[in-house]
Structure 1
Amino acid sequence: MKIKTASTFVLVATSFLSGCTALPNSGPDSRQVEAQATAKVTSAKKAQAVGIDYALVDISKSVLAYVEDTKATSLKGGFGGGRGGAPSLPLGVGDVVQVSVFESQSGGLFIPNDAGSRPGNYVSLPNQTIDREGTISVPYAGRIPAAGRPVEDVQRQVEDALANRAIEPQVLITKVSSRSAQVAVLGDVRSPAKIELTEAGERVLDVVSEAGGLSSPGIETYITLQRRGKSATVLYDYLVATPSENIYVAPGDTILVDRERRTYLAFGASGLNGRFDFEESKLTLGEALGKAGGLLDSRANPAQVMLYRTVKKDFLAKLGVDTSRFSGEMVPVIFRANMRDPSALFAVQKFPMQDKDTIYVSNSDSVETLKFLNILNSVTSTVAGVPSDAIATRDAVRELAP
């Protein structure tokens, strides 16, 4: 008889919980929100309530073989320059140059007859800046176009212009400063600056070094090269490890050094929930779980450890998945690890984490059952206390009555 009464009470309590709207609440519940909505935009598939199609992939030995690390674009592929010599550095607007004119003997245009008291048969003109028209001025030769031309060409033109005036003139043009052949290095370096290039040729790492080097961890730093409206980005550590990516820079280039802090999220039945930094290391899924406090023994379902990530279609194609059902080049994927399998502990130690991954650890079924029993227990306690509450209220009213 007692068992039958208890069963009846549980049934009534459950109906009460599902249908009653008089319980205390901080706002409308989901049923009220849906019932009073003028229009609803929902997915027909319950399993995909948000409307995003995704793939579920169990982490296994075969999957580990195709897991790809984050790869940036290539500097060499975008601009070339990995082979061959350094780029030429012609004269340009803003360069400061010095012009020296040599004559074979004294008594010419520039060397007086008393040249014996001079240190040599030449004269050095004052330093001058190549003007906006791209020219320099040489006495008795006039204005000579210089911008965009090699030094040797300009020297020859000045010599030709002075040939009928000076005695076998020889002209030497020296760059005092090369403002047209500079590279700007900005971002997470210790001394952002414009670096002047030389004929020896500077590569990307050379100019980063001249700017004081990185001020952030190399594993989280990206190098972006901008040139004539094009740009390419590569991870600093990859640039260091791949000499062919360390290409020559050219005048007018801009190099941006940017730290991109790598983080991941952990939710569910893990020891800690929130956002976590990779810091200065490469993380695996096993290390990320450990950093988030591991699995809660009292709540977690070890067979349902899931990692959310978007991957390229090519990755799923390698696993034999029909990708025609997904639109776009990137596909949302949930990687699932069954930590009840002893070998899974080896697999998660080889599965690399990527920036902005999300880890979710599901609750075990027993936890959901316990939640329901706790609610049921609170209902039975309330029912048992109703008579005593009624008596206490009656006595209080009587005391207030005159």
Structure 2
Amino acid sequence: MSRQASRRARSIALFLVVTMVASCGTLPRSGPNKREIFAGSVLQEGDAFVVSVNPRVTAATAVVPALGFSSVFRDAGELGADTIRPGDTLGLIIYENVEDGLLTSTGASASLIDEVQVDSSGFIFIPYAGRLRAADSTPEQLRRLITRRLDEQTPDPQVVVRRLAGDGATVSIVGGAGAQGVYPIERPTRTLSAMIAAAGGFSIAPEIALVTVTRGNRSETAYLSDLYKNPHMDIALRNGDRIFIEEDTRAFTVLGATGTQNRLEFETETLSAIEALAQVGGLNANVANPTGVFVFRNEPEEIARAVMGRDDLIGTQRLVYVLDLTRPNGMFDARDFVIRDGDTVYVTEAPIVGWNRSVAAIFGSLGQVTAAGSAVGIN
């Protein structure tokens, strides 16, 4: 076949391959490119606001979980070490200033009443003194009360009250504690951090540990590290408190041209966009577009209004935040932009990558067509 016919065959083959690639739509890739994401913005009649990140945007979106104990928990004073509570066990010694006393045996001047249990209502029973309320009193207050009651029966009684055990007031600790169980509130363990230490500390990383205290029908949660950073968060405990230690369950997803694509949990209390990228090994230097780092988020109405500078937005809004790491302040913006639970971080591919992929597909296919033509004698 003539050289002209061969060139014509090559042209026809190239035309057929280009047509085939065009008809197949986009070539395989990790996701939409930068232009396609912008095409889905509200300005292009899409359903998401696409916003470039700047210092004003980072300030408006810098929202972290509002965790911590309220004043209801913080203002509760510590229980007195000697306060008597339901369930406590008391020991009493009663001295009578007569030979034949009400409670003493013949020849004895004192009567030992050992292991008197405070009932669930907070009362005890003492012969000749009757049923007395012991709960919420100190041993000294109870001593004076018993003395007054017995003084009506025997002259000048002398009473000694001892608190033998403090198991009446307890808390339960479950979850990521060193040793789960029920623990008494005693002198060294009247605060939350001291009680956790008594339970063997915690078995999870303190940076992502949450502690929830349930008191009655009220539950409040704080970061475990805040108990040590902010002493006012180290609340006093109350009888029946339930303490639950768990890992922070917040997570985000990273997709696109990064070192790896995965769903990742927060490793710190707060997480920036730079730190989120670092958790997956950063951008893939061979394919990533540093001008097209996107964060997809459903933003609450209040924050969406602040970001967009509009007061007509109603309800949760879809926002796509754009980070351009090549700008003079781009790295600072990414460092200050806070990632939140449920965010999707997506890194687009550089335009040249798509071009190279298309060229490889076209000329790879062209080579196959040319080889097939040679086999049938077109060349």
State the TM-score bracket (shorter-chain normalisation): 0.7 to 0.9
Per-residue CA distance 1:230-278 (angstroms, 9 max, x = gap) = 1011112233222222222211111111122665432211233324455
TM-superposed deviation, 1:339: 1.6
Are the structure 2 counterparts of residues 320 and 339 from structure 1 closer, same or farther at C-alpha, using a change threshold of 3 Å?
Answer: same
Paired position in structure 2 for 1:238: 226
TM-superposed deviation, 1:222: 0.9
Residue 342 of structure 1 is aligned with which of 323, 328, 350? Answer: 328
CA distance in 2 between partners of 1:337 and 1:98 (Å): 71
Paired position in structure 1 for 2:313: 325
Residue 314 of structure 1 is aligned with which of 282, 294, 302? Answer: 302
Paired position in structure 1 for 2:29: none
TM-superposed deviation, 1:11: 4.3
2:150 counterpart letter in structure 1: L
2:358 counterpart letter in structure 1: F
CA distance in 2 between partners of 1:332 and 1:57 (Å): 11
TM-superposed deviation, 1:158: 4.0
What SS is found at the alignment partner of 1:127?
strand
Paired position in structure 1 for 2:103: 110
Q: Please show how residues 185-200 of structure 1 align to structure 2 within 5 Å.
A: 185-198=173-186
5+ unaligned residues in a row in structure 1: which ranges? Answer: 21-30, 32-44, 116-120, 392-402
Q: Please show how residues 153-168 of structure 1 align to structure 2 within 5 Å.
A: 155=143, 158-168=146-156
Are the structure 2 counterparts of residues 382 and 89 from structure 1 closer, same or farther at C-alpha, using a change threshold of 3 Å?
Answer: farther
TM-superposed deviation, 1:311: 4.2
CA distance in 2 between partners of 1:387 and 1:296 (Å): 39
1:217 counterpart letter in structure 2: A
Paired position in structure 2 for 1:101: 94
CA distance in 1 between partners of 2:73 and 2:306 (Å): 30
CA distance in 1 between partners of 2:112 and 2:153 (Å): 17
TM-superposed deviation, 1:96: 1.8
Contact kept, 8 Å, 1:180 with 1:252, in 2: the verdict is no
Are the structure 2 counterparts of residues 182 and 83 from structure 1 closer, same or farther at C-alpha, using a change threshold of 3 Å?
Answer: closer
Q: Tell me if 1:288 matches 2:286.
A: no
TM-superposed deviation, 1:75: 1.0
Are the structure 2 counterparts of residues 70 and 97 from structure 1 closer, same or farther at C-alpha, using a change threshold of 3 Å?
Answer: same
Paired position in structure 1 for 2:53: 59
What SS is found at the alignment partner of 1:362?
strand
Paired position in structure 2 for 1:396: none
TM-score by length of 2: 0.77
Contact kept, 8 Å, 1:89 with 1:181, in 2: the verdict is no
RMSD: 3.9
CA distance in 1 between partners of 2:77 and 2:189 (Å): 11
Contact kept, 8 Å, 1:95 with 1:180, in 2: the verdict is yes
Share of identical aligned residues, percent? 22
Q: Tell me if 1:365 matches 2:351.
A: yes
Per-residue CA distance 1:115-173 (angstroms, 9 max, x = gap) = 5xxxxx53221213334565433234455455577766755554455344333234443
TM-superposed deviation, 1:306: 1.4
Contact kept, 8 Å, 2:301 with 2:313, in 1: the verdict is no
What SS is found at the alignment partner of 1:318?
helix
Higher mean alpha-carbon deviation, 236-245 vs 145-154, is at 145-154
2:91 counterpart letter in structure 1: Q
Per-residue CA distance 1:271-307 (angstroms, 9 max, x = gap) = 3332445546864322432342332333121110112
Contact kept, 8 Å, 1:262 with 1:279, in 2: the verdict is no
Structure having greater relative contact order (Cα 8 Å, sep ≥ 6):
2
CA distance in 1 between partners of 2:326 and 2:10 (Å): 37
Are the structure 2 counterparts of residues 324 and 7 from structure 1 closer, same or farther at C-alpha, using a change threshold of 3 Å?
Answer: farther
TM-score by length of 1: 0.73
Paired position in structure 2 for 1:12: 16
Residue 377 of structure 1 is aligned with which of 358, 363, 367? Answer: 363
1:81 counterpart letter in structure 2: R
5+ unaligned residues in a row in structure 2: which ranges? Answer: 26-38
1:74 counterpart letter in structure 2: G
Paired position in structure 2 for 1:394: none
CA distance in 2 between partners of 1:247 and 1:386 (Å): 80
Per-residue CA distance 1:70-94 (angstroms, 9 max, x = gap) = 23333124x2433756479864443
CA distance in 2 between partners of 1:73 and 1:282 (Å): 12
1:103 counterpart letter in structure 2: E
1:98 counterpart letter in structure 2: G
2:68 counterpart letter in structure 1: S
1:13 counterpart letter in structure 2: V
What SS is found at the alignment partner of 2:168?
coil
Per-residue CA distance 1:85-110 (angstroms, 9 max, x = gap) = 64798644432222322324544223
